[in-house]
Amino acid sequence: MIIETLTSPVILFFILGFFAACIRSDLTIPEPFAKAMSIYLMAAIGLKGGVEVASTGFSSELLSAAVAGIALGFTLPILAFFLLRSLGKLDAIDAGAVAAHYGSVSVVTFVTAIELLTGQGMRPDGFMVGVMALMETPAIITGLLLARAYAKKTELPSGASDNRDGGSSLIHEVLTNGSVILLLGAFAIGMVAGEARFEPIKPLFAIGFNGVLCLFLLDMGLIAARRLLQTKKITVPLASLAVLLPIINGSIGTLVGTLIGLDPGSAAILGVLSASASYIAVPAAMRLALPQADPGIYLSMSLGITFPFNIIFGISLFAALANFLAKFIG
Protein backbone atom coordinates (compact mmCIF):
# COMPACT_ATOMS: atom_id res chain seq x y z
CA MET A 1 0.00 0.00 0.00
CA ILE A 2 2.85 2.38 0.64
CA ILE A 3 3.73 2.35 -3.08
CA GLU A 4 0.15 2.99 -4.07
CA THR A 5 0.22 5.87 -1.62
CA LEU A 6 3.42 7.29 -3.04
CA THR A 7 2.16 7.30 -6.62
CA SER A 8 -1.17 8.89 -5.78
CA PRO A 9 -1.36 12.44 -7.19
CA VAL A 10 -2.62 13.73 -3.85
CA ILE A 11 0.55 12.58 -2.10
CA LEU A 12 2.78 13.52 -5.03
CA PHE A 13 1.57 17.11 -4.77
CA PHE A 14 2.47 17.10 -1.09
CA ILE A 15 5.94 15.84 -1.95
CA LEU A 16 6.26 18.48 -4.69
CA GLY A 17 5.47 21.22 -2.18
CA PHE A 18 7.88 19.78 0.35
CA PHE A 19 10.60 19.55 -2.27
CA ALA A 20 10.00 23.07 -3.58
CA ALA A 21 10.38 24.51 -0.08
CA CYS A 22 13.53 22.46 0.53
CA ILE A 23 15.26 23.93 -2.52
CA ARG A 24 13.98 27.30 -1.26
CA SER A 25 11.76 28.02 -4.23
CA ASP A 26 9.59 31.12 -3.96
CA LEU A 27 6.46 29.12 -4.80
CA THR A 28 3.62 30.17 -2.50
CA ILE A 29 -0.11 29.60 -2.33
CA PRO A 30 -1.92 32.83 -1.40
CA GLU A 31 -3.21 32.52 2.15
CA PRO A 32 -6.86 33.40 1.36
CA PHE A 33 -6.85 30.71 -1.33
CA ALA A 34 -5.55 28.14 1.15
CA LYS A 35 -8.21 29.16 3.66
CA ALA A 36 -10.85 28.94 0.94
CA MET A 37 -9.72 25.42 0.08
CA SER A 38 -9.84 24.37 3.70
CA ILE A 39 -13.39 25.76 4.05
CA TYR A 40 -14.38 23.93 0.89
CA LEU A 41 -12.86 20.64 2.09
CA MET A 42 -14.57 20.86 5.46
CA ALA A 43 -17.95 21.73 3.94
CA ALA A 44 -17.63 18.91 1.40
CA ILE A 45 -16.55 16.24 3.88
CA GLY A 46 -19.26 17.30 6.32
CA LEU A 47 -21.96 17.25 3.63
CA LYS A 48 -20.93 13.87 2.29
CA GLY A 49 -20.88 12.35 5.77
CA GLY A 50 -24.29 13.78 6.57
CA VAL A 51 -25.86 12.60 3.33
CA GLU A 52 -24.47 9.12 3.96
CA VAL A 53 -25.86 8.97 7.47
CA ALA A 54 -29.19 10.22 6.11
CA SER A 55 -29.39 7.26 3.75
CA THR A 56 -27.98 4.54 6.05
CA GLY A 57 -29.70 5.80 9.18
CA PHE A 58 -28.25 6.00 12.67
CA SER A 59 -26.45 2.93 13.89
CA SER A 60 -25.17 1.84 17.26
CA GLU A 61 -21.62 2.08 15.90
CA LEU A 62 -22.15 5.80 15.45
CA LEU A 63 -22.77 6.24 19.15
CA SER A 64 -19.92 4.04 20.35
CA ALA A 65 -17.52 5.69 17.86
CA ALA A 66 -18.54 9.13 19.13
CA VAL A 67 -18.01 8.14 22.76
CA ALA A 68 -14.69 6.46 21.94
CA GLY A 69 -13.55 9.54 20.01
CA ILE A 70 -14.32 11.90 22.86
CA ALA A 71 -12.70 9.58 25.39
CA LEU A 72 -9.57 9.32 23.26
CA GLY A 73 -9.48 13.10 22.93
CA PHE A 74 -9.54 13.55 26.68
CA THR A 75 -7.06 10.80 27.57
CA LEU A 76 -4.44 10.67 24.81
CA PRO A 77 -2.80 13.94 25.95
CA ILE A 78 -1.97 12.42 29.36
CA LEU A 79 0.53 9.87 28.08
CA ALA A 80 1.88 12.42 25.63
CA PHE A 81 2.37 14.95 28.41
CA PHE A 82 4.56 12.67 30.51
CA LEU A 83 6.58 11.47 27.53
CA LEU A 84 7.17 15.08 26.50
CA ARG A 85 8.33 16.01 29.99
CA SER A 86 10.55 12.97 30.58
CA LEU A 87 11.98 12.15 27.14
CA GLY A 88 11.42 15.54 25.53
CA LYS A 89 12.67 17.59 28.50
CA LEU A 90 9.92 20.17 28.06
CA ASP A 91 8.63 22.23 30.97
CA ALA A 92 5.01 21.79 32.03
CA ILE A 93 3.69 24.68 29.96
CA ASP A 94 5.23 23.57 26.70
CA ALA A 95 4.44 19.91 27.39
CA GLY A 96 0.79 20.74 28.08
CA ALA A 97 0.52 22.76 24.88
CA VAL A 98 2.13 20.05 22.72
CA ALA A 99 0.06 17.32 24.35
CA ALA A 100 -3.14 19.21 23.49
CA HIS A 101 -2.10 19.22 19.84
CA TYR A 102 -1.57 15.46 19.76
CA GLY A 103 -4.86 14.74 21.48
CA SER A 104 -6.74 16.78 18.90
CA VAL A 105 -7.00 16.02 15.17
CA SER A 106 -5.85 17.26 11.76
CA VAL A 107 -8.70 17.67 9.29
CA VAL A 108 -6.46 17.35 6.24
CA THR A 109 -4.87 14.14 7.48
CA PHE A 110 -8.39 12.79 7.95
CA VAL A 111 -9.49 13.84 4.49
CA THR A 112 -6.39 12.43 2.84
CA ALA A 113 -6.88 9.16 4.71
CA ILE A 114 -10.50 8.96 3.53
CA GLU A 115 -9.34 9.35 -0.06
CA LEU A 116 -6.53 6.80 0.21
CA LEU A 117 -8.64 4.24 2.08
CA THR A 118 -11.56 4.64 -0.32
CA GLY A 119 -9.16 4.15 -3.20
CA GLN A 120 -8.22 0.82 -1.65
CA GLY A 121 -11.67 -0.50 -0.95
CA MET A 122 -11.65 0.34 2.76
CA ARG A 123 -14.23 3.13 2.69
CA PRO A 124 -14.88 4.33 6.25
CA ASP A 125 -18.39 5.05 7.53
CA GLY A 126 -19.88 8.45 6.82
CA PHE A 127 -20.40 9.25 10.48
CA MET A 128 -16.66 9.34 11.15
CA VAL A 129 -16.79 12.98 10.04
CA GLY A 130 -18.94 13.71 13.05
CA VAL A 131 -16.53 11.80 15.27
CA MET A 132 -13.67 13.91 13.95
CA ALA A 133 -15.51 17.14 14.77
CA LEU A 134 -16.12 15.87 18.30
CA MET A 135 -12.43 15.03 18.73
CA GLU A 136 -11.21 18.53 17.88
CA THR A 137 -11.53 20.13 21.29
CA PRO A 138 -11.49 17.82 24.33
CA ALA A 139 -7.69 17.62 24.28
CA ILE A 140 -7.43 21.37 24.74
CA ILE A 141 -9.00 21.04 28.16
CA THR A 142 -6.79 18.15 29.24
CA GLY A 143 -3.66 19.90 27.99
CA LEU A 144 -4.52 23.06 29.92
CA LEU A 145 -5.33 21.20 33.12
CA LEU A 146 -2.03 19.31 32.92
CA ALA A 147 -0.07 22.51 32.31
CA ARG A 148 -1.76 24.24 35.25
CA ALA A 149 -1.36 21.28 37.57
CA TYR A 150 2.35 20.79 36.97
CA ALA A 151 3.61 24.28 36.19
CA LYS A 152 5.36 26.28 38.89
CA LYS A 153 3.42 29.33 40.02
CA THR A 154 5.93 31.72 38.42
CA GLU A 155 5.62 30.16 34.99
CA LEU A 156 1.89 30.66 34.79
CA PRO A 157 0.31 33.66 33.15
CA SER A 158 -0.01 36.53 35.58
CA GLY A 159 -2.24 39.55 35.84
CA ALA A 160 -4.44 40.39 32.91
CA SER A 161 -4.02 37.14 31.07
CA ASP A 162 -5.70 34.68 33.42
CA ASN A 163 -8.36 36.97 34.81
CA ARG A 164 -11.98 35.94 35.11
CA ASP A 165 -13.02 36.16 31.48
CA GLY A 166 -9.85 34.38 30.37
CA GLY A 167 -11.34 31.01 31.29
CA SER A 168 -14.83 31.57 30.02
CA SER A 169 -13.61 33.14 26.79
CA LEU A 170 -11.47 30.07 26.18
CA ILE A 171 -14.36 27.68 26.74
CA HIS A 172 -16.44 29.80 24.40
CA GLU A 173 -13.65 29.82 21.83
CA VAL A 174 -13.34 26.05 22.05
CA LEU A 175 -17.05 25.38 21.66
CA THR A 176 -17.65 27.85 18.84
CA ASN A 177 -14.45 27.14 16.98
CA GLY A 178 -15.01 27.86 13.29
CA SER A 179 -13.97 24.49 11.94
CA VAL A 180 -16.06 22.54 14.46
CA ILE A 181 -19.13 24.62 13.59
CA LEU A 182 -18.54 24.25 9.87
CA LEU A 183 -17.97 20.48 10.04
CA LEU A 184 -20.95 19.78 12.28
CA GLY A 185 -23.09 22.32 10.42
CA ALA A 186 -22.35 20.83 7.01
CA PHE A 187 -22.92 17.37 8.48
CA ALA A 188 -26.33 18.47 9.74
CA ILE A 189 -27.17 20.08 6.40
CA GLY A 190 -26.25 16.84 4.64
CA MET A 191 -28.56 14.91 6.97
CA VAL A 192 -31.47 17.33 6.55
CA ALA A 193 -31.06 17.61 2.79
CA GLY A 194 -30.51 13.93 2.08
CA GLU A 195 -29.41 12.34 -1.19
CA ALA A 196 -32.06 13.96 -3.40
CA ARG A 197 -31.58 17.55 -2.33
CA PHE A 198 -27.80 17.09 -2.30
CA GLU A 199 -27.91 16.34 -6.04
CA PRO A 200 -27.81 19.96 -7.34
CA ILE A 201 -24.81 20.91 -5.20
CA LYS A 202 -23.07 17.56 -5.59
CA PRO A 203 -20.99 18.51 -8.65
CA LEU A 204 -18.99 21.14 -6.81
CA PHE A 205 -18.55 19.22 -3.59
CA ALA A 206 -18.09 15.70 -4.95
CA ILE A 207 -16.42 16.15 -8.34
CA GLY A 208 -13.94 18.84 -7.44
CA PHE A 209 -12.92 17.28 -4.15
CA ASN A 210 -9.83 15.30 -5.13
CA GLY A 211 -8.36 18.04 -7.22
CA VAL A 212 -8.73 20.64 -4.50
CA LEU A 213 -7.13 18.23 -2.07
CA CYS A 214 -4.11 18.04 -4.40
CA LEU A 215 -3.63 21.80 -4.42
CA PHE A 216 -4.18 22.00 -0.68
CA LEU A 217 -1.57 19.34 0.00
CA LEU A 218 0.84 21.20 -2.30
CA ASP A 219 0.49 24.10 0.11
CA MET A 220 0.80 21.86 3.16
CA GLY A 221 4.05 20.47 1.74
CA LEU A 222 5.43 23.98 1.36
CA ILE A 223 4.35 24.95 4.88
CA ALA A 224 5.61 21.77 6.54
CA ALA A 225 9.05 22.01 4.97
CA ARG A 226 9.39 25.73 5.64
CA ARG A 227 8.50 25.15 9.30
CA LEU A 228 11.14 22.46 9.55
CA LEU A 229 13.80 24.58 7.86
CA GLN A 230 13.14 27.67 9.98
CA THR A 231 12.91 26.07 13.35
CA LYS A 232 15.72 26.14 15.85
CA LYS A 233 13.71 24.64 18.68
CA ILE A 234 13.49 20.97 17.72
CA THR A 235 15.89 18.68 19.59
CA VAL A 236 16.48 15.07 18.58
CA PRO A 237 14.24 13.74 21.38
CA LEU A 238 11.43 16.06 20.33
CA ALA A 239 11.76 15.04 16.68
CA SER A 240 11.64 11.38 17.73
CA LEU A 241 8.53 12.00 19.81
CA ALA A 242 6.88 13.67 16.82
CA VAL A 243 7.13 10.27 15.10
CA LEU A 244 6.62 8.11 18.17
CA LEU A 245 3.48 9.81 19.44
CA PRO A 246 1.49 9.28 16.23
CA ILE A 247 2.56 5.62 16.17
CA ILE A 248 1.47 5.09 19.78
CA ASN A 249 -1.73 7.12 19.59
CA GLY A 250 -2.64 5.72 16.19
CA SER A 251 -2.21 2.15 17.36
CA ILE A 252 -4.34 2.82 20.42
CA GLY A 253 -7.01 4.44 18.26
CA THR A 254 -7.06 1.59 15.75
CA LEU A 255 -7.28 -0.95 18.52
CA VAL A 256 -10.10 0.88 20.27
CA GLY A 257 -11.92 1.18 16.95
CA THR A 258 -11.63 -2.54 16.31
CA LEU A 259 -12.71 -3.42 19.84
CA ILE A 260 -15.88 -1.34 19.67
CA GLY A 261 -16.79 -3.19 16.49
CA LEU A 262 -16.01 -0.72 13.72
CA ASP A 263 -15.26 -2.06 10.25
CA PRO A 264 -11.53 -2.01 9.33
CA GLY A 265 -11.83 1.23 7.32
CA SER A 266 -13.49 3.09 10.17
CA ALA A 267 -11.13 1.62 12.75
CA ALA A 268 -8.18 2.75 10.63
CA ILE A 269 -9.69 6.23 10.47
CA LEU A 270 -10.08 6.34 14.24
CA GLY A 271 -6.41 5.42 14.36
CA VAL A 272 -5.51 8.18 11.92
CA LEU A 273 -7.52 10.69 13.96
CA SER A 274 -5.74 9.64 17.15
CA ALA A 275 -2.36 9.78 15.42
CA SER A 276 -2.88 13.16 13.82
CA ALA A 277 -2.00 16.42 15.54
CA SER A 278 -3.95 19.66 15.20
CA TYR A 279 -2.29 22.65 13.56
CA ILE A 280 -5.18 25.07 13.19
CA ALA A 281 -7.67 24.95 16.05
CA VAL A 282 -5.33 24.06 18.90
CA PRO A 283 -2.48 26.49 18.11
CA ALA A 284 -4.92 29.39 18.14
CA ALA A 285 -6.40 28.23 21.45
CA MET A 286 -2.95 27.76 22.98
CA ARG A 287 -1.76 31.19 21.89
CA LEU A 288 -4.70 32.51 23.88
CA ALA A 289 -4.70 30.23 26.91
CA LEU A 290 -0.99 29.50 27.31
CA PRO A 291 0.76 32.42 25.61
CA GLN A 292 4.00 31.48 27.36
CA ALA A 293 4.17 28.18 25.49
CA ASP A 294 6.50 28.39 22.52
CA PRO A 295 4.69 28.17 19.15
CA GLY A 296 8.02 27.24 17.57
CA ILE A 297 7.87 23.90 19.38
CA TYR A 298 4.28 22.85 18.86
CA LEU A 299 3.95 24.02 15.29
CA SER A 300 7.24 22.47 14.21
CA MET A 301 6.37 19.13 15.76
CA SER A 302 2.79 18.89 14.53
CA LEU A 303 3.13 20.59 11.16
CA GLY A 304 6.76 19.89 10.31
CA ILE A 305 7.12 16.26 11.34
CA THR A 306 3.90 14.53 12.42
CA PHE A 307 1.81 15.75 9.51
CA PRO A 308 4.20 14.53 6.79
CA PHE A 309 4.79 11.30 8.70
CA ASN A 310 1.08 10.53 8.88
CA ILE A 311 0.39 11.47 5.27
CA ILE A 312 3.18 9.35 3.86
CA PHE A 313 3.51 6.46 6.33
CA GLY A 314 0.92 6.66 9.10
CA ILE A 315 -2.21 6.17 7.02
CA SER A 316 -0.85 3.01 5.38
CA LEU A 317 0.34 1.76 8.75
CA PHE A 318 -3.00 2.07 10.51
CA ALA A 319 -4.81 0.62 7.51
CA ALA A 320 -2.57 -2.44 7.69
CA LEU A 321 -2.98 -2.63 11.45
CA ALA A 322 -6.77 -2.40 11.17
CA ASN A 323 -6.83 -5.22 8.63
CA PHE A 324 -4.58 -7.30 10.82
CA LEU A 325 -6.62 -6.67 13.97
CA ALA A 326 -9.86 -7.39 12.14
CA LYS A 327 -8.59 -10.87 11.28
CA PHE A 328 -7.02 -11.41 14.66
CA ILE A 329 -9.89 -10.17 16.81
CA GLY A 330 -12.83 -10.57 14.47
Cβ(53)–Cβ(192) below 8 Å? no
Residue among 20, 280, 301, 325 that touches other proteins (CB under 8 A): 280
Which CB, 8 or 64, lies closer to a second copy? 8
DSSP state of 154: G
Taking alpha carbons only, the member of 7, 19, 9, 144 closest to residue 77 is 144
Is 292 an interacting residue with respect to a second copy (CB under 8 A)? no
The rounded distance, in Å, linking the Cα atoms of 259 and 234 is 36
The rounded distance, in Å, linking the Cα atoms of 231 and 208 is 35
Is 154 an interacting residue with respect to other proteins (CB under 8 A)? no
User: Quick one: which segment of 2-10, 121-129, 166-174, 274-282 binds Na ion (CB under 5 A)?
Assistant: 274-282
Which CB, 106 or 254, lies closer to other proteins? 106
The entry of other proteins, Na ion, a second copy, none near residue 214 (CB within 5 to 8 angstroms by kind) is a second copy
Is 283 an interacting residue with respect to other proteins (CB under 8 A)? yes
The entry of Na ion, a second copy, other proteins, none near residue 263 (CB within 5 to 8 angstroms by kind) is none
The rounded distance, in Å, linking the Cα atoms of 289 and 89 is 22
The rounded distance, in Å, linking the Cα atoms of 199 and 226 is 40
User: Quick one: which segment of 27-35, 67-75, 269-277, 321-329 binds a second copy (CB under 8 A)?
Assistant: 27-35
* CA distance readout (Å), 215 to 38, 99, 123: 11, 29, 23
Chain residues 232-271 in contact with a second copy, contact rule CB under 8 A: none
The rounded distance, in Å, linking the Cα atoms of 210 and 233 is 35
The rounded distance, in Å, linking the Cα atoms of 98 and 199 is 42
Q: Which residues, other chains included, contact 230 with Cβ-Cβ below 8 Å and sequence gap of 6+? A: none
Number of amino acids touching other proteins (CB under 8 A):
34
Cβ(68)–Cβ(237) below 8 Å? no
The entry of other proteins, Na ion, a second copy, none near residue 295 (CB within 5 to 8 angstroms by kind) is other proteins
- Under the rule (CB under 8 A), what is the footprint of a second copy? 7-10, 12-13, 16, 19-20, 23-33, 35-36, 39-40, 43, 47, 115, 119, 172-173, 176-179, 181-182, 185-186, 188-189, 192-193, 197-198, 200-205, 207-208, 210-212, 214-215, 218
